Amino acid sequence: MVSFKFILIFIMHALQIYIKNLMHANYFSLFLFFSGIIIFLCTHTDIIMIEISHLNLNFKNEIIFDNFSLLINKGEKVAVIGESGKGKTTFLNLLAGFIPDYSGNVSIFGHELNAENISEIRKHNAWLPQDISLSVKTVRELFFEPFEFTLNRDLKPSSESVSQIFSEFDLSENLLNKKTNEISGGQKQRIILASCLLLKKPLLLVDEPTSALDEKIKQKITDYILKQKKLTVIAATHDDYWIKSSDKVIEL
């Protein structure tokens, strides 16, 4: 959604041109100008995924954000970087709706981030934290667990989709028959990432998504995720290749 401030600026410029052209009776130029405004607003509607303005956030007696503002457009790939303890995970938790105590304005999908709208916002995002407590015993349960949530029950992927993404992630489907304690950390990370992507949510929030991967597979997974044109990705990461491949970098 185009922000109110943005539209107001356009209206002010339009009025200035209107007065100027009216004085010169240049009605054709006036027509062209207003036509341009209409076309611009129509083609730029709904390009903003996340809008943050004047955010102030303290966490565990530390100032994480002080009058922070940011725009993230649909389809952008954003890397959040900084030393450990600087608030990268806190930022993702905020966007996922787990930190209600902040001041300022945070809007996601055109909805203000608050208790009233959080269910609607969560319909459209997938959230993958760095540390996952496994309540499941088999890899199959691990992979399909996100599709058991009420919001996702209609999103269960086809067997063809599962086969395709397992192939892209260099995973064997035989892993689904194993127990979670029988696979490596890198395999587990790829399986959970694959599951998140098959939810086909427009916003993906991930915390250190490639931390358990070796260099070769890390680059392959990064390329696959960041080349999803319609997917907006916000990742807290120390991975140089992921950072270099991102559209925007936020340093905390």
Q: What is the CATH number of the domain that holds 102?
A: 3.40.50.300
Q: What is the pLDDT of residue 189?
A: 94
Q: What is the pLDDT of residue 218?
A: 95
Q: What is the pLDDT of residue 237?
A: 96
Q: For residue 15, what are the domain limits?
A: 4-44
Structure tokens at 248: 């925007």
Domain total in the chain: 2
Low-confidence ranges of the chain (pLDDT < 50): 1-4, 8, 43-45
Same domain, 33 and 88: no
Assign 55 to helix, strand or coil.
strand
Same domain, 130 and 242: yes
Same domain, 188 and 243: yes
Same domain, 94 and 193: yes
Q: What is the pLDDT of residue 11?
A: 57
Strands 48-59 and 103-108, sheet pairing: antiparallel
End-to-end Cα distance, the chain = 26
Q: What is the pLDDT of residue 86?
A: 85
Same domain, 18 and 107: no
Same domain, 29 and 109: no
Same domain, 26 and 90: no
Cα–Cα distance for residue pair 65/123, rounded to 1 Å: 26
Alpha helices for 57-170 (secondary structure H): 88-95, 118-122, 139-144, 159-168
Same domain, 22 and 71: no
Q: What is the pLDDT of residue 63?
A: 87
Same domain, 40 and 61: no
Whether the Cβ atoms of residue 72 and residue 234 lie closer than 8 Å to each other: yes
